[in-house]
Amino acid sequence: MRLTRASSYALHAMVHIAAKKPDTPLASHEIAQVHKIPERFLLKVLKPLVSAGLLLSVKGPRGGYRLAKPAKEISMLDVVEAVEGPIRGMTAFHSSAAGNGLDRKLDSICSQAADQTRKQLGSIRLSNLAGL
């Protein structure tokens, strides 16, 4: 499995926020500067994390982002799927009717691989990644 740049940035931002005081919002420009992430791209990555209920966006001069729930309740899977969408195991190509049996086997194998990936990512907590 390979993380996309968006997922990687999201995980770096979430770990950074988790490592700070729980109720203290962090400005996006601070996160971007520390992790050398383009701020405009970071803002696009943070938006689905807010929509998924993983982050809270705090408005105002002392605003920023903070975790919506404790780091031990947020999994790596939660972050990746918030940014990328559900991890699915499907083949990209379905051949003619003559290959239907093979297509079903390939879909089954890909689904099993996706299930294993989801299980592994679901077992890793943000608190583990942040060393909390």
Provide the CATH number for the domain around residue 68.
1.10.10.10
Indicate the pLDDT class of residue 73, thresholds 50, 70 and 90: very high
In this prediction, residue 97 carries a pLDDT of 55
User: pTM for the complete prediction?
Assistant: 0.87
Residue with tokens 């689904």: 111
- Residue 28 domain boundaries: 5-86
Sequence-separated (6 or more) residues with CB below 8 Å from residue 121: 75, 76, 77, 80, 87
| 58 in a structural domain | yes
- What pLDDT digit, counting tens, does each position of 9-35 carry? 999 999 999 998 878 899 999 999 999
| 32 in a structural domain | yes
Tell me which of 24-28, 92-96, 128-132 is least confident: 92-96
In the chain, how many domains are there?
Answer: 1
Mean pLDDT of the chain: 90
| 17 in a structural domain | yes
| 20 in a structural domain | yes
